[in-house]
Amino acid sequence: MKSSSDPAKIVVLGGSGVATPDLAAALVSIPNRRRLIHLVLHGRSEEKLARVAGIARILAGGDALLEISYTTDLEAALDQADFILNQIRVGGLEARAFDESFPHELGLPGEETVGPGGFANASRTIPVVLEYARKIEQICPEACLLTFANPSSLVQYAITRYTKVKAIGLCDGPVTISQNVARAVQVPVQELVIDYVGMHHFGWVTGVWHHGRDLLPEAIAHCEVASPDVDPAIVRALGVIPGLYLNYVFHPEHMLAKKMGKRTRAEELLELQSELLSEYEGALAQGKAPEGLAKRKARWYQAIIAPVMIALAEERTQRFYLNVINQQVNAWLPAEAIVETACLVEKGRVQPLAAPAAPAMVRALVQSNCAYEMLAVEAIVERNRAKALQALLVNPIIHTYAQAAGTLEKAWEKQERS
């Protein structure tokens, strides 16, 4: 068994993503590191992996505590892995473009993690991720899987429900919310303790503490900063700060209007991906960092992924907002549900902290989202159409039977025929 002084092997599934070099940059930027990390990028295209790994090495700048390699051999990648980052995108950006566009025909906004698009993404992704998880069970059963592939909490629930793999979910959303709240109350974010309750892309700030004083009323008074995408009247009525993506719940008509007639984000990323891969070739020849990588804006590596990796690998003590199995965190949710909550990372382990109280309406909305996620995952794994319809009928963004049935036709039965 490895000790914290031995090199840590971190495997990246979906490692050929063009933003992956930013992970190397984020890792080497963390101060006072002491443990050698072997970062192994896994993907299907050796040519693409070679370019991405080469740029990652350039961004690492010859750091003595980071080694970077790549392979298309899954078993070799997983052998003796300590940590695994799941960032695979099943179907690529072309499939994401479908997720972001077909809901418009149902009168709903398209998005890859919530609503009809999120269900379509889950239907493709979960079966594939479970195949990877079963390989992890066989090859490196003690490894910790850090899952970032969307829709994140549905993927994580599938892993924890149907395999024995230890999985932690990561999202930079709570970091962004915390930064918004800090700007609203004009206090440095590192000085605040923020009470947070909910699920992935369905979280709520219920307390803002600064040296024992609750600044939540002040945050609500400046909610156009703390929660810029939700109508202030809703924030004031609830008495809490809605997190990112709740604009899809409260303002679906506005979100649809913003997206109609425009290119999807996936289409923009496809164009950027081609540009970056071409630029990578030239940058590698010259041994310099590509300027275009900043356009991808992969903030999540710096915000949450690299800090959690280092905290776990080096057994640091730090507080993060992570997605974990509920157990007893929220007594009003099923024990097996996946929740997003404050956690203490200590001695290489993740310990969820007690969740704050939540208003009745927030509990009701989260319970509805929780029922959707659990039913959707079970339906996808069991290939149970009736259960899938149940899930979609309680989805907080889908409001009618016609929308639920339309989602099944376009996102479920389409895949059955393919």
For 221-252, write each residue's pLDDT tens digit. Answer: 999 999 999 999 999 999 999 999 999 999 99
Q: Which residues are CB-contacts of 261 (< 8 A; sequence separation ≥ 6)?
A: none
Mean pLDDT of 380-396: 96
343 located within any domain? no
274 located within any domain? yes
**Predicted pLDDT at 417:** 58
As a whole number of angstroms, the distance between CA 306 and CA 37 comes to 12
Alpha carbon 228 to chain centroid distance?
Answer: 21
244 located within any domain? no
Any idea what the CATH number is for the domain that residue 151 is in?
3.40.50.720
As a whole number of angstroms, the distance between CA 204 and CA 10 comes to 32
Strands 202-210 and 193-199: antiparallel
> Does position 415 have pLDDT exceeding 70, yes or no?
no
Count of alpha carbons within 13 Å of 309, Cβ hemisphere only?
34
**What are the distances in angstroms from CA 404 to CA 200, 247, 391?**
21, 20, 9
Averaged pLDDT score across all residues of the chain: 95
Angle at the Cα of 339 from the Cα atoms of 87 and 318, rounded to 5 degrees: 75
Tokens of 343: 């956690």
As a whole number of angstroms, the distance between CA 411 and CA 103 comes to 9
Indicate left, alpha or beta for 272 from its phi (over 0: left) and psi (-120 to 50: alpha): alpha
As a whole number of angstroms, the distance between CA 371 and CA 358 comes to 18
pTM (predicted TM-score): 0.95
Three-state secondary structure call for residue 412 = helix
As a whole number of angstroms, the distance between CA 154 and CA 229 comes to 24
pLDDT tens for 158-203 read 999 999 999 999 999 999 999 999 999 999 999 999 999 999 999 9
CA-nearest of 397, 299, 67 to 307 is 299
Domain count, the chain: 1
DSSP 275-336: HHHHHHHHHHHHT---GGGGGG--THIIIIIHHHHHHHHTT--EEEEEEEE-TTS-TTS-TT
Which residue type sits at 388? A
As a whole number of angstroms, the distance between CA 363 and CA 366 comes to 5
The burial of 284, by beta-carbon neighbours within 10 Å (0-12 exposed, 13-18 middle, 19 or more buried), is given as: middle
404 located within any domain? no
Helical (H) or strand (E) element with 138:
helix 115-139
183 located within any domain? no
Tokens of 369: 């989202």
pLDDT tens for 258-308 read 999 899 999 999 999 999 999 999 999 999 989 888 888 889 999 999 999
Per the DSSP assignment, residues forming a β-bridge with 322 are 341
pLDDT tens for 85-128 read 999 999 999 999 999 999 999 999 999 999 999 999 999 999 99
Listed in order, strand segments (DSSP E) in 105-178 are 144-147, 166-169
pLDDT tens for 125-152 read 999 999 999 999 999 999 999 999 999 9
As a whole number of angstroms, the distance between CA 141 and CA 316 comes to 23
332 located within any domain? no
Number of other residues whose CB lies within 10 A of the CB of residue 212: 6
Domain span including residue 58: 8-171+265-313
46 located within any domain? yes
Tokens of 368: 């509805």
- Considering the chain, what percentage of its residues have pLDDT values greater than 70? 98
**Predicted pLDDT at 2:** 65
CA-nearest of 408, 403, 416 to 375 is 408
231 located within any domain? no
